[in-house]
């Protein structure tokens, strides 16, 4: 499955799709807050693995984290659609940006435009 195919499938399950044409609409902000929430769930699971298991990941932990990553991916796909950008384009441009930074020796550092 390509990223664009995934994006189309994800949109079929978007329950608050009625005002999709408006960026910063209730539907859009629902996705932004959902992305933050799901990212927080990943962070919380990692915190508990560090605290309670001294950082040792079990197969169950890996499976649970993978599920949460799927939820994060859903929010990214729907947000990209609300912005009118194909998910395939987003991942391709991200890879190009990172390759450029690697070539220029700027993978680490401050700022978005390095």
Token pair 């994800």 in the structure block, residue: 10
Q: How many CA atoms lie within 13 A of 59 on its CB side?
A: 0
| pTM of structure | 0.82
> Domains plus CATH for the chain?
3-104 (1.10.287.1080)
State how far the Cα of 46 lies from the Cα of 44, in Å rounded to an integer.
5
Query: Can you give the pLDDT of all 114 residues of the chain as single tens digits?
Result: 999 999 999 988 888 766 665 667 888 899 999 999 999 999 999 999 999 999 999 999 999 999 999 999 999 999 999 899 999 999 999 999 889 988 988 888 777 776
Please report the pLDDT score of residue 21 as a whole number: 58
């Amino acid at each position: 499955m390509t990223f664009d195919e995934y994006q189309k499938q994800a949109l079929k399950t978007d329950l608050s799709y009625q005002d999709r044409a408006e960026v910063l609409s209730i539907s859009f902000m629902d996705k932004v807050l959902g992305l933050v929430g799901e990212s927080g769930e990943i962070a919380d699971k990692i915190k508990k693995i560090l605290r309670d298991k001294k950082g040792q990941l079990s197969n169950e932990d890996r499976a649970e984290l993978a599920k949460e990553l799927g939820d994060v991916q859903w929010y990214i796909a729907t947000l990209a659609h609300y912005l009118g950008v194909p998910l395939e384009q987003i991942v391709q441009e991200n890879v190009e940006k990172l390759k450029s930074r690697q070539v220029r020796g700027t993978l680490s550092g401050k700022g978005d435009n390095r």
